[in-house]
C-alpha cells in the first residue's frame, strides 16, 4: 500500500511546499509513489484518517495553528518539521526576545489585546514531538527528495551536522569574511546548500538555521564585533533564522 | 430566517482563507472573505535592520512572489538613497520579474485554476486525462524557475539581486540556455490561451470594477513609477497611501483597501485591460483575436489575462536576453552610493497585482519605519464585493453557490500569506 502523506502549512510563506511543486521533473513520478490525503494549497481532495508521513511547514503563530498542529500529530506516524519556520520559528520569531505580542499587535494593526488570536511565533517542536527535521528557508529540493526516498524505503533521512564553512572550503570559494570583511554566518549555520551565497560573492545570511543549536554564536558574535559591526547589527543578523537560540552569550558580553 | 453558508478553508490558493455568506431567503445580509493566516509583523521585525539585508528579509513575505518583493524592496531603498542603475541592471531585473510571472502564472493558471474548468480536484487527478496540459504546465513553470535560478540564485528566496545591481552577473552561456528554454515553452504558453479562451465567463459575476495597475511605459510590463486607474487617471507611486486607504477588520489579518470609498481590483485583468495597447508580438495578436475574454466587469477574466501574460512573458524574456547578449555582459559590480536619512517608495507588479514597499531610514541606513501593501490585501474588499454580487444573483443550490464563490476567489490568484501582517507602522 502506498504511504498516506499530508502536506500541511501553519504560519509562513508556503515556500517549502512550493519547493515540492518546484520539482518539475520529479513531481509526477513522486506522486505516483504516495497517496496524498491533504494538500490544501495544491488540491481540493481531502481525506480523514491516519497519516503515515506529515510534512508540516510554518510556525505556530495563532491558536488556530496550535489546534491544527495537535490534530496533525494525533493522526500521524511521522511528523516532519519542514523548513525553518517549523524547525526554528522562522523569521517571524526573530524578535521573540524583544517585547510582547500585544505590543506588536498594537503597533502594526492598532488593535487591543484579544482582538486577534495571535501568539508569539514558535517552532512546532515546542508543542509536539517531531520525528524528522528538514531545514532551510526554503528547504532544498534535493534534500527533500532524498528524505522522501529514505522514508519510502523505511530508512531515517540523514541531516547535516557541520557548518556552511565546510562546504565553502570544499568548493574552494574565497572566504568572504577574511578577504572582504563581510559579516558571513557560515561558521555557525548548518550546511547543505553547497555554500550558495559565498559562491555568488555574498555572505551567508543563515537561512538553514543554526548548526548544533547555536553553538559557536558567542564566537561569531565576538568575531563580528572585532570586525567593527555593532551589537545591534550582529543580533539583527544572527536572529533572523535562529529566533529561539539561547543568547546567554550576550550577558557574558555585558559583564 | 437567516442562514450562514461558508467555505471554512479555501483550497488551491496560497495561504489560509475562507468565505462566509449570511442570507435571508435570497437577500444577502453579510459577506466575509476570512483571512486567518497568522500575522508575521514584517514591518515591525525589520525595524533597525541595515538596508543591505532588508530585501533578504522582506522577500520572505512570500515564496511565490519572492522576486517581486525583493525588487519592490530594492527599488524603495534605491529611491531613498538616489541610486542610479545601469541599463544592464535594468534589463536583468526586467528579465527576473518576467521569469517570476511565468513561474507563478504557470502554477496558478494550469495547476490551480484549470482543474476548476475541467472538473478535477487538482492537477494530479487532471493529469490522468490531460497529461499533456500538466506536462506543458510543468515545463513552463520550470522555465520560469530557471530564470529565478539564473538571475537570483535559486527558485525560492534567492539572493543575487542586490541594491545597486547583481552580485554575480550571469554568463552569456547561462542566458543562452535560458533563451533556448523559453523558446521551447512558447507553445505551452500559447496552449494556456487556447484552453482558457474556450471557457465561457459566467454572467453571475458581473459588476463594475475599478482597476489599478502600474504604468509600464512604452511597452507592456511590470515595472514603472506611476499607477494607472480606470477612467484615465495616472498617479505617481508616492501617492500610494491615498490610492489604497487601509482599514483593519476583525475577520482578517489583512487590512482592506478602498479608493474613493469603493473597492478596486489589481492583477492581470487590470494590467491587460489598462495596457493591452502596449502588448506586442503574439500576445498582441492573441489579444486582438480573443479580446472579448477580457471583460473588465468580470473578475473571472483574470485567468485568461494571466494566460495572455504568459505568452507576453516568454516572448519578452527572449527579447531581453537578445538585448543583453548584443550589448555584451559586463561584470560591472554594484552601483556606488551613500546611505543617508530618507524615505523611499516603490511599486512593482507582483503576479497578482500592485505591490508597494515604503521605507524610512535613519542616518546609518537602518529602517526606522516601514509600510508594505500587498496585492491580495488591496483585492480583499473587491473580493467581498464579488461575493455579495454572486450571492445576490444566485438562485440554485447552496453547494453550487459555494463552489462559484470558491472559483471566483481562486480566479484572483490570491496570495493570502502575503496579505497578512503587512500594515502601517505608526
Measured between beta carbons, which residues in chain A are less than 8 angstroms from residue B44? 95, 104, 107-108
Q: Are B359 and B54 in contact (CB under 8 A)?
A: yes
Nearest to A44 among B122, B250, B424 (CB): B122
B85 touches chain A (CB under 8 A): no
pLDDT of residue B295: 96
Q: Are A72 and A129 in contact (CB under 8 A)?
A: no
Distance of alpha carbon B423 from alpha carbon A109, whole angstroms: 6
Q: Which of residues 214-233 of B touch A (CB under 8 A)?
A: none
Give Dmax over CA atoms of chain B in angstroms: 71
Helix (H) or strand (E) holding B136: helix B131-152
DSSP B397: -
Chain A interface test: which of B34, B37, B415 (most A C-beta within 10 Å) = B37
Chain A interface test: which of B41, B184, B399 (most A C-beta within 10 Å) = B41
CB neighbours (10 Å) of residue B122?
19
Distance of alpha carbon B34 from alpha carbon A159, whole angstroms: 39
E runs forming strands in B122-232: 161-162, 165-166, 212-215, 226-229
B188 touches chain A (CB under 8 A): no
Please identify which residue in the block is written with the cell numbers 500610494. B240
Terminal alpha carbon distance of chain A: 60
pLDDT of residue B373: 92
Determine what percent of chain A is predicted with pLDDT higher than 70. 95
Name the minimum distance, in Å, from the CA of B275 to any CA of chain A. 30
Burial of B149 (0-12, 13-18, 19+ CB in 10 A): buried
A114 touches chain B (CB under 8 A): no
Instruction: Tell me which chain A residue has its CA closest to the CA of residue B122.
Output: A43
pLDDT of residue B426: 26
More confident residue, A101 or A201: A201
B190 touches chain A (CB under 8 A): no
B184 touches chain A (CB under 8 A): no
Helix (H) or strand (E) holding B144: helix B131-152
Question: DSSP labels for A38-50?
Answer: EETTTBS-B--S-
CA atoms within 13 A on the CB side of B326: 7
Question: Which pLDDT tens digit goes with each residue over A133-154?
Answer: 999 999 999 999 999 999 999 9
Residue B117 has pLDDT above 80, yes or no: yes
pLDDT of residue B201: 86
Measured between beta carbons, which residues in chain A are less than 8 angstroms from residue B425? 107-108
Question: What are phi and psi for residue A220, nearest 5 degrees?
Answer: -65, -45
At A255, the pLDDT band (50, 70, 90 cuts) reads: very low
Rg (CA), chain B: 21
Burial of A174 (0-12, 13-18, 19+ CB in 10 A): exposed
Determine what percent of chain B is predicted with pLDDT higher than 90. 81
Please identify which residue in the block is written with the cell numbers 502575503. B418
Question: Which pLDDT tens digit goes with each residue over A169-224?
Answer: 999 999 999 999 999 999 999 999 999 999 999 999 999 999 988 889 999 999 99
Tell me the C-alpha to C-alpha distance, in Å, between residue B9 and each of A79, B34, B370: 22, 9, 31
pTM over 0.90: yes
Number of residues assigned to chain B: 426
Q: Do B39 and A18 touch (CB under 8 A)?
A: no
B123 touches chain A (CB under 8 A): yes
Q: Which of residues 73-92 of A touch B (CB under 8 A)?
A: 90-92
Q: Which one, of B10, B29, B32, B3, lies nearest residue B20 by Cα?
A: B32
A134 touches chain B (CB under 8 A): no
Name the minimum distance, in Å, from the CA of B104 to any CA of chain A. 10
Average pLDDT taken over every residue of chain A: 91
Distance of alpha carbon B244 from alpha carbon B28, whole angstroms: 26
Helix (H) or strand (E) holding B304: helix B302-327
Q: Are B379 and B412 in contact (CB under 8 A)?
A: yes
Q: Do B153 and A197 touch (CB under 8 A)?
A: yes
Spatial CB neighbours of A115, under 8 Å, sequence gap ≥ 6: A105, A109, B250
A236 touches chain B (CB under 8 A): yes
Measured between beta carbons, which residues in chain B are less than 8 angstroms from residue A200? 153, 159-160, 167-168
CB neighbours (10 Å) of residue B27?
10
Name the minimum distance, in Å, from the CA of A45 to any CA of chain B. 6
**3-state helix vs strand vs coil in chain A, percent to 5:** 40, 20, 40
Q: Rounded mean pLDDT of B254-275?
A: 91
A207 touches chain B (CB under 8 A): yes
pLDDT of residue A254: 54
Distance of CA B292 to the CA centre of its chain: 23
DSSP B209: -
Name the minimum distance, in Å, from the CA of B39 to any CA of chain A. 7
Interface TM-score (ipTM) > 0.90:
yes
pLDDT of residue B424: 32
Chain A interface test: which of B8, B16, B350 (most A C-beta within 10 Å) = B16
Nearest to A15 among B37, B63, B135 (CB): B63
B124 touches chain A (CB under 8 A): yes
Question: Which pLDDT tens digit goes with each residue over B13-66?
Answer: 888 888 999 999 889 999 988 877 778 889 889 999 999 999 999 999 999 999
Please identify which residue in the block is written with the cell numbers 513575505. B61
Spatial CB neighbours of B274, under 8 Å, sequence gap ≥ 6: B211, B213, B228, B230
Question: Which pLDDT tens digit goes with each residue over B83-114?
Answer: 999 999 999 999 999 999 999 999 999 999 99
DSSP A92: G
CB neighbours (10 Å) of residue B203?
11
Name the minimum distance, in Å, from the CA of A233 to any CA of chain B. 7
Q: Are B352 and B414 in contact (CB under 8 A)?
A: yes
CA dihedral B60, B62, B66, B71 (to 10 degrees): -80
Q: Do B11 and A118 touch (CB under 8 A)?
A: no
Q: Do A121 and B138 touch (CB under 8 A)?
A: no
Q: Do B115 and A9 touch (CB under 8 A)?
A: no
Amino acid at each position: 500500500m502506498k504511504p498516506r502523506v499530508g502536506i500541511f502549512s501553519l504560519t509562513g510563506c508556503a515556500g517549502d511546499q512550493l519547493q515540492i511543486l518546484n520539482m518539475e521533473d520529479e513531481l509526477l513520478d513522486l506522486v505516483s509513489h504516495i497517496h496524498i490525503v491533504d494538500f490544501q494549497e495544491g488540491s481540493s481532495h481531502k481525506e480523514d484518517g491516519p497519516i503515515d508521513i506529515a510534512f508540516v511547514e510554518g510556525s505556530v503563530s495563532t491558536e488556530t495553528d496550535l489546534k491544527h498542529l495537535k490534530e496533525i500529530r494525533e493522526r500521524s506516524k511521522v511528523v516532519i518539521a519542514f523548513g525553518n519556520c517549523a524547525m526554528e520559528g522562522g523569521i517571524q520569531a526573530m524578535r521573540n526576545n524583544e517585547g510582547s505580542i500585544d505590543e506588536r499587535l498594537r503597533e502594526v494593526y492598532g488593535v487591543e489585546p484579544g482582538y486577534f488570536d495571535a501568539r508569539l511565533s514558535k517552532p512546532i517542536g515546542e508543542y509536539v514531538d517531531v520525528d524528522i527535521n528538514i531545514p532551510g528557508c526554503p528547504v532544498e529540493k534535493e534534500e527533500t527528495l532524498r528524505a522522501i526516498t529514505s522514508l519510502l524505503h523505511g530508512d531515517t533521512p540523514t541531516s547535516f551536522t557541520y557548518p556552511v564553512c565546510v562546504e565553502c572550503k570544499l568548493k574552494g570559494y574565497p572566504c568572504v569574511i577574511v578577504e572582504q570583511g563581510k559579516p558571513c554566518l557560515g561558521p555557525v549555520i548548518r550546511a547543505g546548500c553547497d555554500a550558495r551565497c559565498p559562491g555568488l560573492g555574498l555572505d551567508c545570511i543563515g537561512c538553514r538555521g543554526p548548526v548544533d543549536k547555536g553553538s559557536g554564536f558567542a564566537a561569531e558574535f565576538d568575531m563580528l564585533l572585532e570586525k567593527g559591526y555593532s551589537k545591534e547589527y550582529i543580533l539583527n543578523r544572527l536572529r533572523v533564522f535562529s529566533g529561539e537560540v539561547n543568547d546567554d552569550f550576550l550577558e557574558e558580553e555585558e559583564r | 430566517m437567516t442562514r450562514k453558508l461558508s467555505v471554512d478553508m479555501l483550497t488551491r490558493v496560497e495561504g489560509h482563507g475562507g468565505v462566509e455568506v449570511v442570507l435571508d431567503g435570497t437577500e444577502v445580509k453579510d459577506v466575509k472573505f476570512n483571512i486567518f493566516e497568522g500575522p508575521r509583523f514584517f514591518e515591525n521585525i525589520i525595524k533597525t535592520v541595515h538596508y543591505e539585508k532588508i530585501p533578504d528579509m522582506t522577500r520572505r513575505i512570500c515564496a511565490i512572489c519572492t522576486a517581486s518583493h525583493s525588487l519592490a524592496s530594492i527599488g524603495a531603498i534605491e529611491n531613498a538613497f538616489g541610486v542610479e542603475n545601469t541599463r544592464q541592471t535594468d534589463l536583468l531585473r526586467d528579465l527576473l520579474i518576467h521569469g517570476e510571472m511565468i513561474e507563478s502564472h504557470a502554477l496558478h493558471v494550469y495547476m490551480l485554476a484549470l482543474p476548476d474548468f475541467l472538473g478535477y480536484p487538482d492537477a494530479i487527478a487532471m493529469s490522468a486525462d490531460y497529461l499533456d496540459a500538466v506536462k506543458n504546465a510543468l515545463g513552463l513553470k520550470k522555465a520560469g524557475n530557471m530564470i529565478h535560478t539564473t538571475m537570483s540564485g535559486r527558485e525560492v528566496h534567492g539572493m543575487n539581486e542586490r541594491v545597486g545591481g547583481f552580485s554575480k552577473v550571469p554568463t552569456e552561456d547561462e542566458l543562452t540556455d535560458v533563451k533556448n528554454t523559453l523558446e521551447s515553452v512558447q507553445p505551452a504558453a500559447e496552449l494556456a490561451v487556447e484552453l482558457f479562451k474556450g471557457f465561457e465567463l459566467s454572467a453571475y459575476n458581473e459588476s463594475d470594477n475599478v482597476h489599478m495597475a502600474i504604468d509600464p511605459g512604452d511597452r507592456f510590463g511590470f515595472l514603472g513609477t506611476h499607477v494607472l486607474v480606470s477612467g484615465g487617471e495616472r498617479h505617481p507611486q508616492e501617492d500610494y497611501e491615498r490610492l489604497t486607504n487601509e482599514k483593519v477588520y476583525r475577520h482578517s489579518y489583512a487590512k482592506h483597501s478602498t479608493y474613493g470609498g469603493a473597492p478596486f481590483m489589481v492583477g492581470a485583468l487590470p494590467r491587460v485591460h489598462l495596457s493591452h495597447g502596449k502588448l506586442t508580438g503574439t500576445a498582441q495578436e492573441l489579444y486582438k483575436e480573443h479580446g472579448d475574454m477580457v471583460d473588465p466587469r468580470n473578475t473571472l477574466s483574470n485567468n485568461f489575462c494571466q494566460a495572455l501574460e504568459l505568452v507576453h512573458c516568454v516572448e519578452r524574456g527572449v527579447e531581453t536576453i537578445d538585448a543583453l547578449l548584443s550589448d555584451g555582459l559586463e561584470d560591472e559590480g554594484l552601483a556606488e552610493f551613500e546611505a543617508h536619512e530618507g524615505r523611499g517608495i516603490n511599486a512593482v507588479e507582483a503576479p497578482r497585482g500592485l505591490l508597494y514597499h515604503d521605507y524610512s531610514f535613519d542616518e546609518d541606513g537602518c529602517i526606522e519605519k516601514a509600510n508594505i501593501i500587498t496585492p491580495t490585501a488591496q483585492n480583499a474588499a473587491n473580493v467581498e464585493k464579488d461575493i455579495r454580487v454572486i450571492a445576490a444573483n444566485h438562485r440554485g443550490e447552496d453547494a453550487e453557490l459555494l463552489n462559484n464563490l470558491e472559483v471566483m476567489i481562486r480566479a484572483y490568484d490570491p496570495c493570502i500569506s502575503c496579505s497578512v501582517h503587512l500594515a502601517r507602522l505608526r
